[in-house]
Chains A and B, each alone.
Chain A
Amino acid sequence: MIIAALLPLFLFVFPLWNITLEAPQYPIPLGMNIHINDFSDANPHDIKNINLMNHYVGMKYIPDAIPEFKIFPAGIIITTILGLIIALKANYRWFLYWFILMILLSAAGLYDFYLWEHDYGYNLDPKAIMKFTNEDGSVMGFQPPLFGSKDILNFTAHSYPRLGAYFLGLGIAASFVAYRVGKKAHKKTQHMI
């Protein structure tokens, strides 16, 4: 359980997510790494160049900072401390509660990411240089996929979790394993009594 609680800390070292944009005139694709406290270029100046591309269709600039950059790290630190207290003081049932809490928080994080992506892709400048419509006449959005790959105009966008997310997932999974192990050990002691 201690390991489970500590693994999410790798999010401070490794990126959580990555969005990559491929197009013929970008032999080296444009990419953005999403950390829990920062957006960073996959290659130097990528975000600047993504912004430059996207302004043609009226998409907003990717902000330097978002409120999540404060909330996410705090959340990770709090849940880690909570996990450590549970690991040291509480019984195995709390392992499950921590597991459920982490699942819920991660789902909330993903939903938040989805909302931002949707806003980013659909909340377009009315004075956009180029306006595209779908076949049904509705305004075309440029929302990158939440997970997976998608063709958007001349770009192919890829959106996948990175190492930080894997550590988070591993931590969550470990807490569940700790719960199962704890439960078994508990049953054994029950039997012995």
Chain B
Amino acid sequence: MKHLFNRLATLVVMATLLVGCNNTGSKSNGALSSSAAEKVYVAPGEQDEFYAFLSGGYSGNLTVYGLPSGRMFKEIPVFSQFPTSGYGYSEETKPLLNTSFGFVPWDDLHHPDISQTNGELDGRWIFVNGNNTPRIARIDLTTFETAEIIEVPNCAGNHSSSYVTENTEYVVAGTRFAVPVPQRDMSIKEKKGNFKGALTFYKVSQDTGRMNLAFQVLMPGFDYDKAHPGRGDSHGWFFFTTYNTEEANTLMEVNASQNDKDFIAALNWKKIEEYVANGGGTKMPTTYMHNVYDEETHTATSKTINEVLTIDPTDVPGAVFFLPTPKSPHGCDVDPTGEYIVGSGKLSADVTVHSFTKMMDAIENEKFSDDAYGIPVLDFEAINAGSVKSGGLGPLHTEFDADGNAYTTFFISSEVVKWKLGTWEVIDRKPTYYSVGHLMIPGGNSRKPFGKYVVAMNKITKDRYLPTGPELEHSAQLYDISGEKMELLSDFPTHGEPHYAAGCPAELLTPKSKKIYKLEENKHKYATLTPAETRVERNGKEVHVYMAMIRSHFTPDNIEGIKVGDKVFFHITNHEQDFDVPHGFAVIGANNSELLIMPGQTKTLTWEPKREGVWPFYCTDFCSALHQEMQGYIRVSAANSNVELKWSLGEDIE
């Protein structure tokens, strides 16, 4: 009887609610739900307010999104071969992937960072790191293409990278997996005390953006995990989190988690720069590659470098210190003023914050608690500014808004927590779906955050989208942070595994984004700038086809005199000079990829015909109303045949 009564009561309540909804409720619900929708809705033909560059992780590439819509605009090939455009397959781009280990067509891209001037994003370049075969790449933000890749010698797992200093003086590389330096054959169990963790500083040319290895600090063999530069008063310093200060070499999940505190390493790079300028450091033989893409020749070249300037940190007094930080800190983030250094102990519940002012005071007054391999360890109490008792678990990364708030991700408790710098009080927390890694606020790691949105990049997707079998894309969430409380706006899937991301206002990049490459500036060795220059030349078994393409034909489109066993180089120049008229090139049986050639650009595909016959090639990019007709034939004769080398367009081969 009691049960029945309860059920009836429930029914009555529900009915009331339903009626209520029909009357007034539906309106307010509608308004509420549409406000989130309106905030992410970018009407057809309208454009997004921000660019977001999300790392592709194991895709090896960088993806470009718009915020608030979450629409993806481009995948920029960086460390991975990309058959879509021929990147890493074309003769011009293959050198970009050269390393001292040979051609390495894949990497694990983690941390994009936009170049800065006076601590503010300037939108000249974006730097990204390759973790596996240690490299740093620079992407040009007028072409949105990879312009340079430089290898990191004496390093393994370039994870605490590729962050830039306040005026892009340097971009850094770090070592996550300590290794023998120089590499040598030795027993693994003798790791402790014998391995090194190299932290490498690349000087960036302010004119060209080109990187040059300035110096490499050979730190104790810990795992250098994440990094961020000082800014404002702390400009001139760089901070790196460490874990495995135990220097374990096996079952690291247990053995590297024993110390109650690991360190944040603080490096005064200005002091080291001065030391180097005065002739300090030791030149060590090594080998690494520096690959540069030239926009005028549309071609990359590789150079091997055989020497690196190494620095023993104990040789530069006052340059390197350790800041004790609880529980294997991961994220290492510096607030916009440069005063607070936030270390997220990933195995703890709290976020530890150090004070730069206190750090300087502790250094001056030698408040040291210990030393590690001759490097002073500062007294924790002397430098600690406070800690955020959030109640969350597994803090990883922190970004900042312009109003003195910090936003920290918690991987284990799967949430973003907003807290106040200075008071350490928690203001708000919102769940993420699921297990968030990095987060990004446009400008949120600079002196001038733009606020407005935070993007949370999750490691686990599960049920957020329609299922696609066992393998899923990762998932991001967008939150509005313009109010006191965060508001979840939308989910969007992300390509590869985004680790960090960088964002900036659209107007920083849109005016200078290139539309075409100017044909008259094309200095490619095999370019054909007019149809009259198109030709086919034989040099032994190598055949060079100087080809042009324009709506809607190739010049030439009939080629004879190719033989089985030849190596045919199609050097193709796109003669279009109109925005967004690329042409593609594909030839049957090519063992590499297609080419996607932008207006004014020249690319080269190598083709090794294996069988006699008449074989077609065609344009792969639907370029015009006559795209289907954009095709041609190449005749392949027997290796010993004497068919003459001929080519034509619009008439029969004579």
Contacts and interface: CB of A to CB of B under 8 A. Distances in A.
Interface of A: 28, 44-45, 48-49, 52, 56, 129-130
A44 B625 contact: no
Contact of B577 (A28, A45, A129): A45
17 contacts: A28-B579, A44-B577, A45-B516, A45-B577, A45-B578, A48-B577, A48-B578, A49-B577, A49-B578, A52-B550, A52-B551, A52-B576, A52-B578, A56-B625, A56-B626, A129-B626, A130-B625
A53 to B, nearest CB: 9
Nearest to B624: A56
Contacts of A49: 577-578
Interface of B: 516, 550-551, 576-579, 625-626
Given A49-B578, A52-B551, 7 more contacts: A44-B577, A45-B516, A48-B577, A48-B578, A49-B577, A56-B625, A56-B626
Contacts of A52: 550-551, 576, 578
Contacts of A48: 577-578
A24 to B, nearest CB: 11
B210 to A, nearest CB: 28
Secondary structure call for the A interface: mixed
Contacts of A56: 625-626
Nearest to A45: B577
A56 B629 CA distance: 13
A130 B625 CA distance: 10
Nearest to B625: A56
Contacts of A45: 516, 577-578
B621 to A, nearest CB: 15
Nearest to A56: B625
A147 to B, nearest CB: 28
Contacts of A130: 625
A68 B643 CA distance: 50
7 smallest beta-carbon distances between A and B, as pairs: A45-B577, A49-B578, A52-B551, A48-B577, A129-B626, A45-B578, A56-B625
Contacts of B579: 28
Contacts of A28: 579
A28 B626 CA distance: 23
Contacts of B576: 52
Nearest to B600: A45
A155 B551 CA distance: 18
Give the most central of B576, B578, B625, B626: most A CB within 10 Å. B578
A56 B516 CA distance: 23
A45 B579 CA distance: 10
Nearest to A129: B626
Nearest to A25: B580
A129 B624 CA distance: 12
Nearest to B575: A48
Nearest to A46: B578
